[in-house]
Amino acid sequence: MLALDLLTPSLPLLVPPETFDGFGWAVSTTLTWRCPLGAPALNALDDQLPLGMAFVLRAPWESIPTELAWLHVGRARAATLGLTDQLALAPYAIDDATDLLFAEKRPPAETFWLAADNANALYWALHDWSHFHNHGEFTDRPSTELQCDAAALAWLWINRANIGLPDALWEDYRRDALANHLALRETMPETRCPPPQVLSDAGELRRLAERLVG
Ligand SMILES: [Zn+2]
């Protein structure tokens, strides 16, 4: 098993301010991650469920949709992590969590820890972690998602040595995230989202990540 507090320092705002009504309402510092393997599986970027991850609740929370955590990490891997009947955020309820954390002013790090056994799940968990700290109405999805994709990639870059994430796989994720972003923009030509240079320029993204940890 691997247990790490991933560094998740807040990013600067990269998109128009009206994208968020609660940008940085909770200060992001770390995400506690437990991996049932000695290292995460190194797989391709893919947003299709199941992702093999669970945001496990640290304490009961009545208002959020939940499911048994082990259903999402598998019985054997859950046992490795000491998970029995613990509840996790339902995978379909990421947007609900984004709204309810903000509405109830629950700091995400005091609410969830992450169980995940693969690098793709880590990407999406970190993407969601950005949503959880930056509330928006999802009215301009390309802008909302650009901020979260940049955060996920910056945080993976900062933590890559501890995660065991090869630079080449990070680069694959960056290219795939850019392709996803460009496809999303095509569905919303009226977006106010700036050109996604933060995703298209690997050097700029790495420098942004390195500035976050000084
Ligand atoms: Zn998102």
In this model, does residue 50 exceed pLDDT 90?
Answer: no
What integer best gives the mean pLDDT of the chain? 97
pLDDT tens string 69-106 = 999 999 999 999 999 999 999 999 999 999 999 999 99
- Size (the chain), residues: 214
Report CA(132)–ligand 1 centroid distance (Å): 10
Give me ligand 1 centre to Cα 146, in Å.
Answer: 8
210 CA from centroid of ligand 1 (Å): 23
Per-chain residues with Cβ under 5 A from ion ligand 1: 145, 148
Domain residue ranges of the chain, discontinuous segments joined by +: 2-212
Residues 110, 91: contact at Cβ < 8 Å? no
Measured in Å, residue 45 CA sits from the centre of ligand 1 at 14
Residue range 112-135, pLDDT digits in tens: 999 999 999 999 999 999 999 999
Beta strand ranges found along the chain (DSSP E): 2-7, 20-22, 30-35, 53-57, 66-68, 87-89, 112-116, 135-136
Q: Which two tokens stand for residue 146?
A: 């650009």
